A and B are shown apart, each in its own frame.
Chain A
Amino acid sequence: MRDPNAIDFWRGFALITIFINHIPGNTFERYTFSQYGISDAAELFVFLAGWSIGIATRGRDGNPEPPGRSVVRLLARTVEVYRAQLTVMLLALALIAGAALLLDNPLILEWHNAGGFFADPIQSVCGMALLTYQLGYFNILPLYVLLIGIAPVFVLVGRVSLVAALALSVGVYLASLVFGWNLPSWPGEGDWFFDPFCWQLLLVLGFVLQGWNLRTDLLRRWSRRLFPAGVAIVLLGIVLAVAEIRPDPMLVPEPRLLFTFEKTYLTPARLVHFLGVLLAFAPLYAVLAPRIGRVVGYLTQMGRNSLAVFSMGSILSLVGQLVRFQTGGGLLIDMLVAGSGLVGLGFTAWFVEWRSRSRSSRPRT
């Protein structure tokens, strides 16, 4: 088990934020940082995943492990995330169907695009296995499967040159923005909510920056120097978000995706804002850690077990939505939903670590 560190801390923080934001309409939504900027917790989550790949594919001494081992390691992780996505989807569909039956309310079947599954299970179940059928709010894991699936390419290129890996990634990113590349949804029309061709950039960026951070002091010095710029970007983001100022996609010049704030394509404005958030808040952990030990312990434990916590968070946020729907919401219900969710997520992280501890300490029977 790793000691508390900034990466796990921020990952835990992102997990909590995603959980709250996935219960739309709840009171606490407006207190998450996603409401006060252009980018949100999804960017943070994917970036940190890339950073973690950098850590995982190196030994304790910081030297890269053999390429073959890295590829197998990423493959194993891909399988793990894929399995989590299938489990979570099945549970989500069962929750929706069960609630519709129990409450005698077919309206619930339309929840988050689930109606397609119940209307056409034959195609949808294939789409589910192919990851092209996604429920609303259950679209991050498919992205994650794909990103970790293609990560070996970038990791191997990165062994030769991190700059080359980044250049390749930026090239794919810009081409997708200009030509509007995305993966299709199926069954049904439309595209993926998170465009993997664009979002891969954040993963590679995390991976490359981790490598540079390890190699030289340059990155740390520059990030300290650019701190004021980060703060300025964050402040600008707050103003734009609160005043609801954003470009009109019908009025911006072609190629439009270079200028809008669209989440699906991780447009440049979102990317710049995220980098600003990174610059402004990265130093915060060192300041906070000694003062809020408990919170740090709670968040880092979640960060260490991000897949389990994320999966449980998806399910709990759906349960939370159902509870809010049936009771009509309100501050008391929201406190109950959010509170039990936070406890549930904390318990999940603790439980996963307890299980792996007890598994490794006991001889197999």
Chain B
Amino acid sequence: MAQPQQIVTTAHMRPVQPSACPTRAFLTRLVPALAALAILAGGSAAAEQPANPLAGEAALSLECRVPGAQLYTVAQLGAVKAALAENRPLKILAIGGSAAPGASASYPAKLEAALEHALPKVDVTIDHRGLPGEIASGAAERLRTMVAEAEPDLVVWQVGTHDAIARVDVDAFASALTEAVGWMRSHGIDVVLVDPIYTASMAADVDYNRIVEAVRTVATQQGVPLVRRYEALHYLSSRTDKGEGHMLGRQFRLNDLGLRCMAEHVALTIATSLMRTEAPQEPKAAPAQPPLTEPQRAPG
């Protein structure tokens, strides 16, 4: 299988390597917040190594633990920072996946809890909406209305699965996604993208991988954080799993695991991105400012 290339290569994006020293100061600031995340995320794991630079991943519960480099790329979250600076509730619109209770849907509640622990004293409200249909045909339009109705500070968007399933042309998908993300950013709304899940039967599928890559490319170009769910699940699938099986087979167990872990992965990505966001000059007033992101600034 073609391992999807890593887009972000700057050292301090990867809290895995303690020796990459410019990051040390940053990491020490990061630890307390992430430790808070850890408490709700799983408990015992965090207690084992509280002050370790590995804390980024240690914040994750054992079954969800993935090295940061394989889990996320960070970027600035100006609107969220501004909301925090103004001490107002943080409004998040979570889009995609099944907007129904059950295994997947503890997701919004979990995400809310995870974020409120990571960002103490901040009130987080999450609106979760399903978005059936393809971004390349129609769904992007519906997204705009949803966003206009909710007027959130941040949109967390699980994107690409429907388009991949419908075998939508990758370029059409990428340009529609670029437009949608650009539109939200032009209105001063932060966006976190979550790419499609990994499952063994799709691993060798060229089109599917191209959609995953397209999400990545758009996230980089638009300068928005990305939860690399595909790679994270791929990593988790490669670990020896002694855990309970699934009556429908291994892929279905992995799928459940992916759904359970998503809130943690998203929360960690947001918390890490926030740490790297400079304080806002004027809150939410200069949305047109293109975000300066690591990938554009420093290739190497």
Contact = CB atoms under 8 A, between A and B. Distances in A.
Nearest to B163: A25
B169 A25 contact: yes
A111 B165 contact: yes
Interface string A245-284: 0101110000010001111100000000000000000000
A305 to B, nearest CB: 28
A325 B205 CA distance: 11
B148 A250 contact: yes
B24 interface: no
Interface string A96-131: 000001011111111111111111100110000000
B105 A105 contact: no
A135 interface: yes
Contact of A119 (B102, B127, B128, B136): B102
A27 to B, nearest CB: 10
B98 to A, nearest CB: 3
A249 B97 contact: no
A120 B251 contact: no
B100 A264 contact: no
Interface stretch (A10-18, A185-193, A225-233, A345-353): A185-193
Contact of B132 (A108, A113, A329): A113
A250 B134 CA distance: 22
B161 to A, nearest CB: 6
A117 B197 CA distance: 19
Interface in B155-170: 161-163, 165-169
B130 A113 contact: yes
Contact of A249 (B127, B148, B196): B148
Nearest to B132: A136
B89 interface: no
B161 A24 contact: no
Nearest to A265: B145
A328 interface: yes
B149 to A, nearest CB: 8
A25 B164 CA distance: 10
B92 to A, nearest CB: 13
B101 interface: yes
A107 B165 CA distance: 8
Interface string B123-144: 0000111101110111001101
A105 B201 contact: yes
Contact of B99 (A112, A114, A137, A189): A189
A25 B168 contact: yes
B224 to A, nearest CB: 18
A25 B136 contact: yes
A325 B248 CA distance: 21
| Range of interface residues on A (Cβ < 8 Å) | 35 or more
A256 B148 CA distance: 9
B129 A190 contact: yes
Contacts of B101: 116, 119-120, 123, 187-188
A3 to B, nearest CB: 37
Contact of B100 (A25, A115, A256): A115
Contacts of B196: 107
Interface in B52-84: none
Contacts of A185: 99
A180 B133 CA distance: 22
Contacts of B273: none
B294 interface: no
B99 A324 contact: no
B130 A106 contact: no
A104 B129 CA distance: 27
Contacts of A24: 133-134, 136-138, 166, 168
Contact of B144 (A101, A137, A249, A328): A249
B269 interface: no
- Best-buried of B183, B201, B202, B254 by chain A (most CB within 10 Å): B201
Nearest to A127: B100
A253 to B, nearest CB: 12
B105 A137 contact: no
Contacts of B98: 110, 113-116, 119, 188
A281 to B, nearest CB: 23
Contacts of B17: none
A248 B187 CA distance: 10
Contacts of B132: 112-113, 135-137
B160 to A, nearest CB: 11
Given A106-B252, A113-B130, A249-B145, A328 B207 contact: yes
Nearest to A327: B167
Interface of B: 97-105, 127-130, 132-134, 136-138, 141-142, 144-145, 147-149, 161-163, 165-169, 183, 187, 196-197, 199-202, 207, 248-249, 251-252, 254-255, 259
Sorted nearest first, the 5 A-B pairs with minimum C-beta distance are A116-B100, A136-B132, A119-B102, A120-B102, A115-B98
25 contacts: A25-B134, A25-B136, A103-B201, A107-B196, A110-B98, A111-B162, A111-B165, A112-B132, A113-B99, A113-B130, A116-B98, A116-B130, A118-B102, A119-B100, A119-B102, A124-B100, A188-B98, A189-B128, A246-B141, A249-B144, A249-B145, A321-B166, A324-B167, A325-B167, A328-B207
Given A103-B201, A113-B98, A119-B102, 13 more contacts: A24-B134, A24-B168, A107-B161, A107-B202, A115-B104, A117-B100, A119-B105, A123-B100, A189-B99, A249-B144, A261-B141, A263-B138, A329-B167
